[in-house]
Amino acid sequence: MSRIHRRVKAAVAVAVALAAALAVGCSSGTDGPAAGSQDSVDAALKAGGTITYWSWTPSAKDQVAAFEKEFPNVKVNYVNAGTNKEQYTKLQNAIKAGSGAPDVAQIEYYALPQFALTESLANLDQYGFGAFEKDYAPSTWSSVRVNNGLYGLPQDSGPMALFYNKEVFDAHGIAVPKTWDEYVAAAKKLHTADPGKYLTSDTGDPGFATSMIWQAGGKPFAADGRNVKVDLADPGTKKWTATWNQLVEGKLLAPIKEWSDDWFRALGDGTIASLVTGAWMPGNFKSSVPGGAGKWAVAPMPTYDGQPVTAENGGSTQSVLKQSGNPALAAAFVRWLNHGNGVKPFIASGGFPATTADLNSPAFLDQADPYFGGQKINQVLNDASKNVAKGWSYLPYQTYANSVFSDTVGKAYLGGTSLDAGLNAWQQAIVDYGNQQGFTVSAG
Amino acid sequence: MATFSVTRPRKSRVLTAVMALYLIYTLVPLVWLVINATKTQPTLFTTSGLAFGGPFALFDNIGETFTYDNGIFLRWLGNTLLYVVAGAGGATVLATAAGYGLAKYRFPGRRAVFAVVLGAVAVPGTALAVPTFLMFSELGLTNTPLAIIIPSLISPFGLYLIWVYAADAIPDELLEAARIDGAGEIRIFLTVTLRQLAPGIVTVALFTVVSTWNNYFLPLIMLSEPKWYPLTVGLNQWSAQASGAGAQPVYHLVLTGSLLTIVPLVIAFLLMQRYWQSGLSAGSVKQ
């Protein structure tokens, strides 16, 4: 009796759930550009509910607290599920398993195509978020647009600049290099004058290499649906290797692994005299390189011909997962996070925003930074965000490609040999893996 | 020419030098860890890695490790203990019972079991982590302690060790004598066998405790909420938060936490090693 009763109950529950799913499917439409209004998002926000949010941003906790204060009927279950690759592995597993993914996840721009192209993310065009385009720098906006879908709102950006140790530069009579030729010359000059010092360090970081190829005008990766083109010997890539090979083959790069305690120490004591990296770096200087206070300064990234051009390095977005049980509410949270009051706590934590209004606000631009000797560094970094080269795209499986970078290109760094051979090996690995995964990959 | 004998073996300078180098190689990371756990976050980056420098902050660091982020370290320590007691403890019990059974009872399919166990020894746990994840996800057990404990219960190597050990250490005559005295199989296992197997059990316990304590990949994949993390995954999360926008480096806590993490293992080794050593030469019956 009770068993039958329970079965009937279950059947009714299933029927109700199906009906509800159908109703939702009909009313909101899924990917159609015709839908596209923010009404459903506003309604979800009013109705309230619970969502889960995966992020490793240090400001996430404050942001979630501020959001819950503003919308007391929404509960955000914040989880730090690991930093970048770790979190992606977990996301990938949850997607494969069909359950266990959060409603909203932080995803870096380089990894976004991978999740977008496997249809794991909700297209935010359905909520009309495409209207926000004018509020972001073009380069960051293009980072969240994949195959004409909108898969997140940009949280931060990482336009590149040259961070240099003024004290070391002055002591050795080195002028701030404007071109890469000057940069290479400075590297030789410094290392010859003091063999214990290096102009910069690079032990083979895929994020850095792709950003440098990006700046040089290279477009090694192109994806159109399941068709992928890889050409790591295109003119832009060659332009970069022609410069960087001089540093690699000349052993002019500090053999110190990035982000290690040795590396932070070397940045503080002058062993490494400059870094070409993203605009998010100042926060790391302040928290991890106490010895460098007052010595470091920021200048535009060197270029090949003296004309200002940069690339993006790093940067994340927040995306709504398709698995989400309440995508409209999740989208509302994303909107608040990166297009609303959530931006302020992010900037306060030392983040470099993506919204042009915040980037161009006088309060942001005129801030004199005591760590950098009172320099208004945001002016340099904001200029950089306007000069990002256009037309870059990452692979639809960039996280895998990055994971085999050290096995291939890393050998060139280790042996002090030409990067071109290493990039060739990397390309081979990328082509092989892509074909195994069901892409049609052609090498250029 | 020098003379040498068994009691005064010739000293090889090369061998001594090689062993000394090896000793240094093994000890340097430990020394480095101890030294750097005494430093504050800023002095960690401004002083040499292998010398004390700045204020001696070990006790402050220990205090901060236990209180940082609402005392999550203590929670991780508790999780690790839970996984070790339930997982490694259970694995030892299962391996002991199964190893003894396979060594002392004849039944059809024994050889097949032997092949499967040997094969299982050869498969690294990390290779099984993702399939295990998908299975546990179907069961709805991911992100729970059971997702760590259940896979930890399986120790093919421990089973094999007990099997081989039981085959030698427990004479069939002893079991026959017990049966003649009227003891049932369960009673024999609990009163006769376990005592004979004690050194083997301690060895297996050591192996499973160490591997569960150090287990990283499985919890990394299975768990997404920090409240269930063991120490290994938790400490890595602390280490990872040092990079990226608005980073919060707490390397001094990572180091102090790592030092605290190895202390229980060192104690376990010191306590158990005398059983272990005596077991290697122990016999049960004079033949």
ipTM: 0.76
Cα torsion for B132, B136, B138, B142, to the nearest 10°?
A: -130
Evaluate whether residue B106 is within a structural domain. yes
User: Cβ(B46)–Cβ(A271) under 8 Å?
Assistant: no
Contact yes or no for A159/A62 (Cβ under 8 A): no
Distance CA A268, CA A265 (A): 5
CB A166 within 8 A of CB A297: yes
The answer for A376, left when phi > 0, alpha when psi is -120 to 50, beta otherwise, is: beta
Q: How confident is the model at residue A21 (pLDDT cuts 50, 70, 90)?
A: very low
Q: What is the predicted pLDDT for the residue at B246? A: 62
Interface touch B45/A288, C-beta < 8 Å: yes
Distance, in Å, from the CA atom of B233 to the CA atom of B79, rounded to the nearest integer, reads 11
Q: What percent of chain A has pLDDT over 90?
A: 79
Q: Would residue A365 count as lying in a domain? A: no
CB pairs under 8 A between A and B: 107
Contact A83 B130 (CB under 8 A): no
pLDDT at site B177: 92
pLDDT at B82 over 90: yes
Residue A351 placed within a domain: yes
Residue A32 lies in a domain: no
Last residue of a domain, one of A300, A335, A360: A360
Please tell me the total count of domains within chain B.
1
Q: Which residues of A touch B221 (CB under 8 A)?
A: 89-90, 93
CATH of the domain at A130: 3.40.190.10
Question: What six digits make up the tokens of A220?
Answer: 């090694």
pLDDT given for residue A30 in this prediction: 44
Is residue B35 in a domain? Answer: no
Do the beta carbons of residue B35 and residue A248 sit within 8 Å?
Answer: no
Percentage of chain B lying above the pLDDT 90 cut: 58
pLDDT of residue B279: 55
Looking at the structure, do residues A141 and A289 belong to the same domain, yes or no? no
Structural domain containing residue B271? 55-280
CATH of the domain at B77: 1.10.3720.10
Instruction: Pick A80's closest partner by Cβ from B137, B221, B237.
Output: B237
A64-to-A103, A244, A336, A352 alpha-carbon distances in Å: 14, 42, 10, 19
Q: Looking at the complex, does the CB of residue A129 fall below 8 Å from at least one CB of chain B?
A: no
Q: Are B53 and B47 in contact (CB under 8 A)?
A: yes
Contacts of B143 in chain A (CB under 8 A): 100
Per-residue model confidence as pLDDT tens digits over B118-175: 898 888 877 888 889 999 999 999 899 999 999 999 999 999 999 999 998 889 999 9
pLDDT in tens, A255-266: 999 888 889 899
In whole angstroms, give the CA distance from residue A190 to residue A172. Answer: 7
Q: Which residues of B touch A290 (CB under 8 A)?
A: 42, 45-46
Who contacts B223 (Cβ-Cβ below 8 Å, separation ≥6)?
Answer: B142, B143, B147, B148, B229, B233
Q: How far, in whole angstroms, is CA A5 from its chain's centroid?
A: 53
Same domain? For A140 and A172 the reply is no
- What's the domain count of chain A? 2
* pLDDT score for A35: 59
B25 lies in a domain? no
- Mutation for A interface: B45, B68, B133, B135, most A CBs within 10 A: B45
* Residue B36 belongs to some domain of the structure: no
Residue A213 included in any domain: yes
Task: Flag whether A15 is in a domain.
Answer: no
Who wins on pLDDT, B250 or A428?
A428
Report residue A236 as tokens.
């832009």
Express each pLDDT in A45-101 by its tens digit: 999 999 999 999 888 999 999 999 999 999 999 999 888 888 998 999 899 999 899
Contact B133, B212 (CB under 8 A): no
| A89 falls within a domain | yes
Per-residue pLDDT of B206-262, as tens digits, reads 889 999 999 998 998 899 899 999 999 999 989 888 776 667 788 899 999 999 999
Q: Does B2 have pLDDT greater than 60?
A: no
Same domain for A437 and A292: yes
Residue A14 lies in a domain: no
Does residue B54 have a pLDDT over 70? yes
Q: Tell me which chain B residues have a C-beta less than 8 angstroms from the C-beta of A316.
A: 245
Residues A182 and A320 in one domain: no
Please give the share of chain A, as a percent, with pLDDT higher than 70: 92
Question: What's the rounded Cα separation, in Å, for the pair A244 and A236?
Answer: 12
The pLDDT, as a whole number, for residue A3 is: 46
Domain-located, residue B287: no
One domain, residues A196 and A221: yes
A289 interface with B at CB cutoff 8 Å: yes
Do A223 and A111 lie in one domain? The reply is no
Same domain assignment for residues A177 and A193: yes
pLDDT tens by residue, A23-33: 444 444 444 44
Output the pLDDT for position B282: 53
Helix, coil or strand: residue A83: coil
CA dist B144 to B137, B221, B227, B231, Å?
11, 12, 10, 16
Residues A68 and A175 in one domain: no
d(CA B249, CA B239): 7
Which residue of A157, A264, A272 to mutate against B (max B Cβ within 10 Å)? Answer: A264
The SS3 assignment for B60 reads helix
Residues of B in contact with A343 (CB under 8 A): none
Question: Closest-CA residue in chain A for B235?
Answer: A82
Please indicate whether, in this complex, the C-beta atoms of B137 and A100 are within 8 angstroms of each other: yes
Which domain range does residue A89 map to? 38-157+314-360
Question: A284 and A380: one domain?
Answer: yes
